[in-house]
Structure 1
Amino acid sequence: MTEDPQLARWQRFRENRTNALAEEHGWLSLTSLQWLTPEPSRLDGIPGLWHTDESTGLETAVLTARADEGLVFVEEGDPVDGTFAAHLDNEESLNWVRYGTVVVELAMRGGSYAVRTRDSQSPTLTEFRGVPVYDYAPEWVVEARWEPYPEPRKVPISTANPLVDGVHRSAGEVVFHRHGHEYRLQAEQGRLGDLTITFHDETNGRTTDDWRKVSTAAPRPDGTVIVDFNRAINYPSAFTPYGTCPMPVRGNSMDLAVEAGEKAPDAS
């Protein structure tokens, strides 16, 4: 029997997705999220003194440590011995230093510096055996129409962390019909024209996480775009409480049960 090429592509997609989640210091390795303050202080689980500094007019994150405390720079591999500063723009991240099995990620979120620890021995990672998914469903491969806005719109949104506000850069709307009803979902657009849709649906809180996302290739020259909901995936915040993942923009909620793609990590 000839294998369905669409099914085979989806199976490769799932294999790549599982491998990406299982990376040594990927999203499943997160073990903490800690915010920096102007006062030099110690953080849980890692040595050194950490703080923010605006004395030069450019806010930086500052780390002070001795070589014998065991911190080393991720990129150079040199011991951290002295005082060092790093600057990030909002939404940027930097895997800055390492401490044993832990990589310390510096992040700028919502205009504030935070440190996230990524431990390759985190139980969430070491016990990972894959994400539950719905069986492949060809009916959830949907042809839609792309309606770009004249200019992208910055729409304020909430995130998985109540302390962090987000912005959705809506480039336009993906429009499709299902059971006689029209759905319009705002999407962000990548540099290669690809689209990402963050959405709610009626499976949320039952078999799936509170929200998911699905990405597409760039729209065709005639404006059509294929949305394969079998490729809907969870944000990192489905696996860890230390994510600052964007929630759907208002209006990206469907009165549909999208029984395709990834389920909640603890779903049967």
Structure 2
Amino acid sequence: MSTEDSGHPGVPVEYATWRKSRWEEVAGSGGKAGTVQLAMVSHPEPGVPGLPGRWEVSASGVLTLTVTAADGVSIGGRPVTGAVDVESGSQVKLADGRVCFVQGRGGTYGMVVWDPSAPVLTRLRDIASYPYDPSWVVDAEYRATPGRTVEVERLTSPRSTETASAPGDLVVEIGGREYTLVVVETVPGLRMAIFTDPSSGADTPEIGRWLILPPDEGSALRVDFNQVILPHHVFSTAFPCPIPLEANHLPVVVDAGERAPVLDERNRSTVTEPDKKGQDGTMEPELTEKAVQYLRHLEKFDFASMRAMCADTATVWHNDGKGEQTIEANLEQLEQMSSGGGVVALRYEITRQFQKPDEVLQQHVLHINMPDGSGTELPVAMYFGFKDGLIDRIEEYANMMPPDEGNVSGDS
């Protein structure tokens, strides 16, 4: 991990200590970056998919694991065979090097499966953060809202929605203006404000960042935006993290806290396109990054930059029954849509990406704002084909809108 903040003048010791503990939480044994599976088991349903042996909870709440010698399972460094009781807090090591961390209460047990060879963990070199800024340590007010709940989406596949406790609002002053963030408590005792800002999807994750509130139950709080963290989902898709509420979008950039994971591109454990260098000798961005960049240009209606990312032979196809277009015809149609007042704003909320050599498949939700103040959301799958690092083919599969809702179907 980088220690750029350690010992730097003006950086509190407490912050440097927090950075080290945060690194251990993400990259240490059992950390978020190595987590490949989350599972639950309770009585009377036995079994945990993907794990050897038979896991079952008795009617009295005891967790038992039954394995054979061939399974190669050990607990506490000792090989186990047959049926053995597994206590909460145990670490079960599997033959392939994975470790299952077990925690349980009241007859229900949760398993965190950690893999030392997980792709992100083996490539993770640092967690990029904004420079420490004492001005982001601010006084805030916590306004309790007992009994309140909100509907939150989770990054599952397909997306899921759940009712979560929203026990209060966090009122903070940024740049002389007061903003209110809804606080959610998806895990008992863990209160957090999940927010987005103009950096989301560009310098920071599309799915926002987390501000964990101190445990103080009082109304007056001291919060440190320098300790804003990345969602667990950024390090492992095993975590079905909650998506920030629309109300929690801050119109000002929070240039404090964690920004993005820093990955070693020379140590890839998945099959991706070979490294390529640009004419200036620097490494070109991943194709997944280029796909995102293309859509960010569209959000800004920067059609010249979009065209520069495409090959001369690029074609575009939508599932609207109209066939395919040249890239020039598609961009002309998009420009007419934006200049004609049909759409005020577009925002792409990217949920999943898959990459193969010269190909990217992406799922996202397209948020569309109309001139009359109305808005809509489209779940979309988009395919990008690349040729020599340029986009050569775009295919978009969207839930089509009725014609009277605006000329935006499949054209973005």
TM-score (norm 1): 0.72
How far is the alpha carbon of 1:68 from its aligned partner? 2.8
Q: Which is bigger in relative contact order (C-alpha 8 A, separation at least 6)?
A: 1
How far is the alpha carbon of 1:189 from its aligned partner? 6.7
Matching of residues 96-111 of structure 1 within 5 Å:
97-100=92-95, 101-105=97-101
> CA separation in 1, counterparts of 2:110 and 2:119?
22
How far is the alpha carbon of 1:219 from its aligned partner? 5.1
1:205 matches 2:208: no
CA pair 9-60 structure 1, distance change in 2 beyond 3 A: closer
1:216 matches 2:213: yes
- The answer to whether the 8 Å contact 2:148/2:165 transfers is yes
Q: Which runs of 5+ in 2 are unaligned?
A: 1-7, 264-284, 286-412
1:66 matches 2:71: no
- The percentage of aligned residue pairs carrying the same residue is 25
CA RMSD of the aligned region, Å?
4.2
**Size of the alignment, in residue pairs?**
249
Q: Deviations over 1:63-92 (max 9, x none)?
A: 653233212346x94615249799xxxxxx
1:248 matches 2:244: yes
Query: Letter of the aligned partner of 1:215 in structure 2?
Result: I
- The answer to whether the 8 Å contact 2:165/2:186 transfers is no
1:48 matches 2:66: no
> CA separation in 1, counterparts of 2:245 and 2:78?
41
Query: Letter of the aligned partner of 1:153 in structure 2?
Result: R
SS in 1 for 2:255: coil
SS in 2 for 1:16: helix
- Pair member with larger Rg: 2
How far is the alpha carbon of 1:265 from its aligned partner? 1.3
> CA separation in 2, counterparts of 1:162 and 1:190?
19
How far is the alpha carbon of 1:264 from its aligned partner? 1.8
1:122 matches 2:123: no
What residue in structure 2 maps to residue 178 of structure 1? Answer: 174
> CA separation in 2, counterparts of 1:77 and 1:204?
47
Q: 1:137 aligns with which of 111, 121, 133?
A: 133
TM-score (norm 2): 0.49
SS in 2 for 1:47: coil
> CA separation in 2, counterparts of 1:255 and 1:135?
21
1:14 matches 2:15: no
> CA separation in 2, counterparts of 1:114 and 1:255?
38
How far is the alpha carbon of 1:174 from its aligned partner? 0.9
1:169 matches 2:171: no
What residue in structure 2 maps to residue 160 of structure 1? Answer: 155
> CA separation in 1, counterparts of 2:253 and 2:172?
15
Q: Which runs of 5+ in 1 are unaligned?
A: 87-92
> CA separation in 2, counterparts of 1:203 and 1:66?
52
What residue in structure 2 maps to residue 90 of structure 1? Answer: none
Query: Letter of the aligned partner of 1:186 in structure 2?
Result: V
SS in 1 for 2:93: strand
| Structure having the larger proportion of residues in helix | 2
1:236 matches 2:236: no
How far is the alpha carbon of 1:165 from its aligned partner? 4.0
How far is the alpha carbon of 1:153 from its aligned partner? 2.2
- The answer to whether the 8 Å contact 1:218/1:225 transfers is no
SS in 2 for 1:68: helix
How far is the alpha carbon of 1:121 from its aligned partner? 3.3
SS in 1 for 2:92: strand
Query: Letter of the aligned partner of 2:214 in structure 1?
Result: A
Which range moves more in the overlay, 137-146 or 199-208? Answer: 137-146
CA pair 187-162 structure 1, distance change in 2 beyond 3 A: same
Q: Deviations over 1:157-185 (max 9, x none)?
A: 11222455444322211112334543111
How far is the alpha carbon of 1:98 from its aligned partner? 2.1
- The answer to whether the 8 Å contact 2:230/2:260 transfers is yes
- The answer to whether the 8 Å contact 1:166/1:246 transfers is no
CA pair 190-43 structure 1, distance change in 2 beyond 3 A: closer
SS in 1 for 2:155: coil
> CA separation in 1, counterparts of 2:185 and 2:110?
27
> CA separation in 2, counterparts of 1:13 and 1:219?
18
